[in-house]
Amino acid sequence: MTFDTASLRDPRSKGRHIKACLTQQVLYQKSTGLERFDFVSQALPEIALSQIDLSVSLAGRALSAPLMIAPMTGGDRRALVINHRLARAAQRWGLAMGVGSQRVGIEDRSRARYFELRSQAPTALLFANLGAAQLVKGWGRDEALRAVEMIHADALFIHLNPIQEAVQGGDLDFRGVADRLSRLCEALEVAGVPVFVREVGFGISEQAARQLLACGVSGIDCAGAGGTSWARVESLCADSERERLMGERFGEWGIPTSDSILNVRRVSRSLPLIACGGLTNGIELAKALALGADVGGMARSMLVKACQGEDALNRFIADTLDELRICMFGTGAATVAALRGTVVSCR
């Protein structure tokens, strides 16, 4: 593999993304759609709040709670500080966590150390992360395993983000992507590494879910619209007027998180499913689970709290899990599995 150095990912772009997400209007105007659903309050819960069991398993590993710190960053010093904070929280609370795209760490070995998390989260479920566009360009088994090893990950995310690439004039060729994914899944199954495919926030259609299932993925993160709008982020971080305009125009593009979950579940009742995009508290997390997700992910909400400090982050996670527990108590669900189906669509 050779690389066009000009196309090497600008390591500063991560910093810009984080800054935009912390300080600017990066959210969708359209909602996750979760507000269309209401829990069916159960007046006779027949459970004890203290006995509620939040544990789930994902990628062959046990989590203490159905919550994931979604992939966000990595690859430079500032990102590392935030990621270490997040990793300690993942470890402490028994959550899953992902890192942002490791492309820069693969392309520039000197940057690989800025992805290191294991020191902070010795036993947490960690996901490595590469973009599908790289697969199309020729990356495969080797780079994937290097990414996994780079952070001693337990599983790998391949992220899909065609619209983000399109508005910023990035990688614009996705021909053969399903075929490359199939081959990667096969190769990594041999290596014992589960491959999850994820959107970055434009959602998963029924058709895409069907294709991914056919590719043999171990699971999906169907990150949908209603939270951080990646077209909007790119617009705010744009270098050119044209990118700014395109990002803005496509700021509302995407399948809302609630529809995204339902799309995947229409295709498979059992495929491991993470749901991300616009989750900000434990009630929204609980609704995502009730609609069919196995685990809910949060990116921006976690980032904001991590930047406020370790205490704020821990308090946020504690509150979120308490809210989830109360939702389970209030619907009479003793386990996360029992929570599924406890919502109805309201006016």
Ligand X SMILES: Cc1cc2nc3c(=O)[nH]c(=O)nc-3n(C[C@H](O)[C@H](O)[C@H](O)COP(=O)(O)O)c2cc1C
Residues in touch with a copy of itself (CB under 8 A):
33, 36, 38-51, 132, 160, 162-163, 166-167, 172-178, 181, 199, 202-205, 207-208, 211-212, 242, 245-246, 249-250, 253-255, 281-283, 319, 322-323, 326, 329-330, 347
Q: Which long-range contacts (CB under 8 A, 24 or more apart) does 246-249 make?
A: 246/166, 246/167, 246/168, 247/167, 247/168, 249/167
As measured in angstroms, the least distance from the Cβ of 54 to ligand X is: 20
Please give the backbone phi and psi of residue 212, each rounded to the nearest 5 degrees, phi first. -65, -40
- Residue 163 interacting partner from ligand X, a copy of itself, none (CB closer than 5 to 8 Å by kind): a copy of itself
- Whose Cβ is closer to a copy of itself: residue 136's or residue 151's? 136
Q: Which is nearer to ligand X, 264 or 279 (CB)?
A: 279
Residue 153 within binding range of ligand X, rule CB under 6 A: no
CB 346 within 8 A of CB 36: yes
Q: Which does 329 bind (CB under 5 to 8 A by kind): ligand X, a copy of itself, none?
A: a copy of itself
Asked if 168 touches ligand X (CB under 6 A), the answer is: no
Residue 25: name its binding partner from a copy of itself, ligand X, none (Cβ under 5 to 8 Å by kind): none
Q: How many CB atoms within 10 Å of residue 148?
A: 24
Q: How far is the CB of 223 from ligand X (least distance, A)?
A: 4
| Spatial separation of the C-alpha atoms in residues 88 and 203, rounded to whole Å | 29
**Which H/E stretch holds residue 179?**
helix 177-191
* Contact present, 211 and 219 (Cβ < 8 Å): no
For residues 321 and 319, give the distance between their C-alpha atoms in angstroms, rounded to a whole number: 5
Picked from ligand X, a copy of itself, none, the partner binding residue 47 (CB below 5 to 8 A depending on kind) is a copy of itself
- Measuring CA to CA, how many Å separate 99 from each of 130, 187, 247, 297? 9, 22, 24, 13
String of contacts with ligand X for each residue 65-104, x by CB under 6 A? -----xxxx--------------------------xx---
**Is residue 118 a contact partner of residue 91, using CB atoms and an 8 Å limit?**
no
Name which of 52 and 180 has its Cβ closer to ligand X.
180
The interface partner of residue 106, options being ligand X, a copy of itself, none and the CB cut-off 5 to 8 Å by kind, is none
Question: Which residues ranging from 184 to 243 are in contact with ligand X (CB under 6 A)?
Answer: 198, 200-201, 223, 227-228
- Residue 336 near ligand X by CB under 6 A: no
Note whether 80 and 19 are within 8 A (CB): no
| Interaction mask 266-295, ligand X, x per CB under 6 A | ----------xxxx----------------
Q: For residues 282 and 94, give the distance between their C-alpha atoms in angstroms, rounded to a whole number.
A: 16
Answer yes or no whether residue 305 interacts with ligand X by CB under 6 A. Answer: no
| Least distance in angstroms from the C-beta of 297 to a copy of itself | 16
- The rounded distance, in Å, linking the Cα atoms of 328 and 286 is 8
Amino acid, res. 27: L
Residue 167 binds ligand X, judged by CB under 6 A: no
Kindly give the interhelix angle for 257-267 and 206-215, rounded to the nearest 10 degrees. Answer: 50
> C-beta of 9: minimal distance to a copy of itself in Å?
19
**Rounded to an integer, what distance in angstroms lies between the CA atom of residue 199 and that of residue 62?**
23
- CB of residue 297 to ligand X, shortest distance in Å: 7
83 binds, among a copy of itself, ligand X, none (CB under 5 to 8 A by kind): none
φ/ψ of residue 165, rounded to 5 = -65, -40
- The nearer residue to ligand X, 198 or 325, going by C-beta atoms, is 198
Number of residues that bind ligand X (CB under 6 A): 27
Nearest to 133 by CA among 178, 174, 182, 73: 174
Binding site for ligand X (CB under 6 A): 17-18, 21, 70-73, 100-101, 129, 157, 159, 198, 200-201, 223, 227-228, 276-279, 298-301, 303
